Amino acid sequence: MGKRRPRESRRLEGAAAAAPAGWLREPATIALLLMLAVVSLHLGDKLIGGGMGRAIGLGLALGAIPFHAALYSPWLWGAATLLLGWCAFGNAAAANHTYLLTYAALALTLALRLPTRDEAMDAAATAVRWLLVAVMTFAVVQKGLSADFRDGSYLSYLMLTGGVGQLAWEAGVAPETRRVLEENVRRDQQFTPTSRTFERDRVTLLNPFGKWLPLFVATFAVGILVAEAVLAVGFAWRPDSVWPHALLQAFGASLLLIRPETVFIATLTAAGALSARRADRRVLYGYVALGCVAIVLTLAGVTSRLDGG
């Protein structure tokens, strides 16, 4: 007869076998929870409204942590798809991230019907990855076809009304420039922009950047186009490599500083986390960190205009 193992050793092995793996050690669960947090935050804002709606939505998502197995239910994501679809297709002015969230939730609904969890998450990662490729490709084509983007008037308008660098202005950087931008916002509210020039309905926007404005606009435009094009190629060609995900995270962080569209950035991070199925785990943690920053800023009511609109 062989030697018997010590009782303590057998007890620890039995406990380890009986205890479920901590959900923090399951990358798929973390990615799903991040997506649920963004979806709930957005639905709370759209269905209830205001800071209270966002807080309630996020609270419901956090309340799912003890029941994390439910994150793998196609019924949960099917319900989310219906609600998001109602918000997206029932509103002619729905934001782009509403559509992206809708399609991501639909992809999860279909993928999670597969027999095993691994098959389901692999299918979801593939679907969301191609969603990101489509989003970035569409963004490049749309900007390339837009006369307002090509001639620089759209980006100039954003810069002159505080739509670029808002976090810096609100942090007290260059207070004189901030006052000029706030005056431009006041003037801009007096009319509906229809022209591709700075002068609309005889209201002229002030230029606090002087001769540097064209250089800022050109740099901004080229940087956005190159980043979006490289992201589309990277996620289509090398989805399991670190660099496409690192670039997407850098892109999101840059957007956060340049133009804080916080829900859009949170949506990108959640989609990126789902697509990083086979990537290094540190990639996932990067998405979670950036997503949490975007979610906190959303809860704080940070918007992409100085006037809070």
Dihedral sign from CA coordinates of 248, 249, 251, 256: positive
| pLDDT band with cut points at 50, 70 and 90 for residue 250 | very high
Q: For residue 147, what are its two tokens? A: 């006369």
Q: Compute and round to an integer the Cα radius of gyration of the chain.
A: 23
Whether 93 shows a pLDDT value over 70: the answer reads yes
Q: Please tell me whether the overall predicted TM-score, pTM, comes out greater than 0.75 for this model.
A: yes
CA distances, 11 to each of 2, 5, 127 (Å): 18, 10, 43
Pairing between β-strand 199-200 and β-strand 203-204 as defined by DSSP bridges: antiparallel
Question: 20 is written with which tokens?
Answer: 């479920």
State the Cα–Cα distance between residues 191 and 154, nearest whole angstrom: 16
Q: Give residue-wise pLDDT tens across range 26-35.
A: 899 999 999 9
The DSSP symbol for 279 reads S
In this prediction, residue 13 carries a pLDDT of 41
Ranking 8-12, 92-96, 103-107, 214-218 by mean pLDDT, the lowest is 8-12
Average pLDDT, the chain: 85
Which is more confident, 15 or 90? 90
- DSSP of 186-223, one letter per residue? HHHTTS---SSSSEETTEEPP-TTGGGHHHHHHHHHHH
Q: In this predicted model, what pLDDT tens digit does every residue of 269-296 receive, in sequence order? A: 999 999 999 888 899 999 999 999 999 9
Name the most confidently modeled range: 49-53, 60-64, 99-103.
Answer: 99-103
